[in-house]
Structure 1
Amino acid sequence: MIELLSSSLLYEIPRNPAIAVGLPIALGGLSGAITKSSVNTWYAALAKPPGQPPRIAFPIVWTLLYGAMGYAAHLTASHVNTPFIGDAARDSLHLQYAQFGMNMLWTPLFFGAKKPVLALLDIAALLGTVLKTTNDLRGIDTNAFYLYLPYCAWLGYATYLNAGIIYKNYKNKN
Structure 2
Amino acid sequence: MSFLHIPNILLAIPRNPVTAVGLPLVAGFLSGSPSSTKVANSNWYFGLTAPPGQPPREAFPFVWTLLYCSMGYASHVAVKALDTAVTTTSRDNLTLGIGLYYVQLGLNFAWSPLFFGAHQTGLALVDSAALTISTWYMTKLLDRPTNGKATYYLLPYCAWLAYATYLNAGIWWLNYGPGKRSKGL
TM-score, length of structure 2 as denominator length: 0.87
Distance 2:163 2:174 in 1: 16
Give the equivalent residue in structure 2 for 1:83.
Answer: 86
Runs of 4+ in structure 1 over 3 Å off: none
Distance 2:15 2:101 in 1: 14
Alignment of 1:140 onto 2:145: yes
Q: What code does the residue aligned with 1:154 have?
A: W
2:51 to 49, 52, 64: 49
Q: Extract unaligned runs of 5+ from structure 1.
A: none
Give the equivalent residue in structure 1 for 2:60.
Answer: 58
Q: CA deviation at 1:63?
A: 0.6
Distance 2:134 2:6 in 1: 19
Q: What code does the residue aligned with 2:135 have?
A: V
Identity percentage of aligned residues = 48
1:129 to 134, 141, 164: 134
**CA RMSD after TM alignment:** 1.4
Q: Extract unaligned runs of 5+ from structure 2.
A: none
User: Residues 80 and 87 of structure 1 are in contact (CA less than 8 Å); yes or no, is this contact kept in structure 2?
Assistant: no
Q: What code does the residue aligned with 1:156 have?
A: A
Give the equivalent residue in structure 1 for 2:72.
Answer: 70
Distance 2:66 2:77 in 1: 16
Distance 1:140 1:101 in 2: 24
Distance 1:156 1:166 in 2: 15
Distance 1:20 1:33 in 2: 20
Give the equivalent residue in structure 1 for 2:106.
Answer: 101
Q: Secondary structure at the match of 2:145?
A: coil
Distance 1:86 1:153 in 2: 26
2:97 to 81, 92, 103: 92
Larger deviation, residues 39-48 vs 127-136: 39-48
Q: What code does the residue aligned with 1:72 have?
A: A
User: Residues 6 and 99 of structure 2 are in contact (CA less than 8 Å); yes or no, is this contact kept in structure 1?
Assistant: no
Q: What code does the residue aligned with 1:37 have?
A: T
Q: CA deviation at 1:12?
A: 0.9
Distance 1:114 1:53 in 2: 20
Give the equivalent residue in structure 2 for 1:152.
Answer: 158
Distance 1:159 1:24 in 2: 19
Distance 1:50 1:97 in 2: 32
Q: Secondary structure at the match of 2:19?
A: helix
1:166 to 162, 172, 185: 172
Q: What code does the residue aligned with 2:174 have?
A: K
Give the equivalent residue in structure 2 for 1:15.
Answer: 15
TM-score, length of structure 1 as denominator length: 0.93
Distance 2:72 2:47 in 1: 33
Distance 1:54 1:147 in 2: 24
